[in-house]
Structure 1
Amino acid sequence: MGRIKQGLDYFPMSTSFMHDRIVRRVMKREGDAYNTDLDDVKRIIALAVECGLFDAGLFRQYGILTSADIQRQYLFITKRRSSSLIDPAYCLLEAEELASYHTSPNSKNSAEDADNKTVCDVTTTADTVTSTTDSATSEAEMSTLGTQNKEKQIKTNQNKINHLSDSPQGENGGGKILKSRKVMTQEDINNLQPPPDGMQRNFEGLLENLHSYKILPSEQYAIILKSNFGAIGHPVWKGFSSIRGSNGKIKLPGRYLLSVIN
């Protein structure tokens, strides 16, 4: 069998408790910084009883701290229980007032039915919300997948259009180098070779400088093409000199070099 609950999980207190006339009287006498010494506690309790915060008769006879207001609060909290648990010897309330807190069986059943109906309504609403949420989630996922597929297709088509040559460098009928839009990797950069046209270049030194400043492969490729693979006397070398002399103030060396040689 279920055990009848004897105590309370919580005891509500008025938010205006500190403004109560009796409480303020006790605080005026003792201050708001109460000590926990035994003598101080005894003195403060005696003062609270004297001021009427607790019932003086029950305190003197039984050493119990209670009052009519405390018992009313207790009965209000437990009014849906089948019986009150206040011992008649300690009860400070009249029989008529006690009866007003008792709930008849029919009223109790009606209250329970109302609670059950509320629970059912809440459950149904929760199921509806969950179903709606699942449906919205599915639609969102399908929309996201459709968007991703569309973006993937656009990217694929763009790569086909931009891919002008299979190699990083190609030549057209006029002998000019075509600028491929292929996404360059560091391996592609390392495999590049300057054209055998007899021009004086320092291609190895150019690659070494580009690597040392950790310039992106795409920027490296543009700098290599614009500098004619590191031609001697090209402005790109002055650009490297300026980067070294800046002592780290030039934060984007790749973009700086491109601005110099454009």
Structure 2
Amino acid sequence: MTKKGLTYYQADTDRFQDIRIKRLKKRYGCEGYAVFQYVQNEIYRVEGSFICFDEDQAFDCAEYWNISEELVIDIVDYCAEINLFDRNFWTSRRILTSQAIQQRYIEICRRAKKRIAVPDDITLIAEKAVEMPKPATITAQTAEIQQPQNSAEFRGNPQTSDGISDKEKKNKINPPSDSPQRGETQRRNVQNLLSGLNRKFDATCQHSQLDERGKTPIPPELDNGKGRNPDGLMYNLEKYHVPRHEAEEILMLTRYGEIGHPIWALFQEIDRSRGKITMPGRFLLSRLRPS
């Protein structure tokens, strides 16, 4: 019988910067983090992408860490409350899983050429069914078949004997980087977008992009005294090429980049997906819109 679970799983080095982990540690101390890691390990070990967390599972966890079963359940409840686990599956079916867990499980299975087994009724990955195309490997034997010699597509793009163009080799040796000019252009685009949004939401901002402190002004109806980072928010939206109409809605849903808002953890989730989240704007709105 093929084992469903995994013999290993990877961990993100920035997990201690995750605001959810910080909240868990602040509420329950080291015991909270220990329980979360124990449950996550059991998910990968047993089923791979989820676990039915019943009384036996709670007992095993409590015995391992020498704490009460009631405390284990309280910690798991809080983990679901702050979205370390999916809240709906936990409250309705006592199943523990999350989008991040399923993404990591699928990635490991692909690398290990292992069959992916995420039940359809609990999948949280919209991209699961879409296999990312693998880059074509061009060899001397296949170059003649894959690249027609007389095609206009390849004219003016000299190729070497291995079938790879000089331009491709140059880019491979010297990959494009984020130049200072590109960074300045990106910052200018962010400020232009912010300026337009401010004019839309607050007539008092029509003649200025920045306030006296050099920060982007906040519309009065959204200013409840909490710290915000609208420039950082819009910089990330520009970075992920989020369309303007989606950026406007995200700006409002996050109350102009409120500090501590889940949006910052979602940006980390996009980074960890390594390109699997192909439409970041829609992904962010699906997680931010009220259900």
TM-score when scaled to structure 1?
0.35
Select the structure of larger CA radius of gyration: 1
Q: Which has the higher contact order (CA 8 A, sep 6+)?
A: 2
TM-score when scaled to structure 2?
0.32
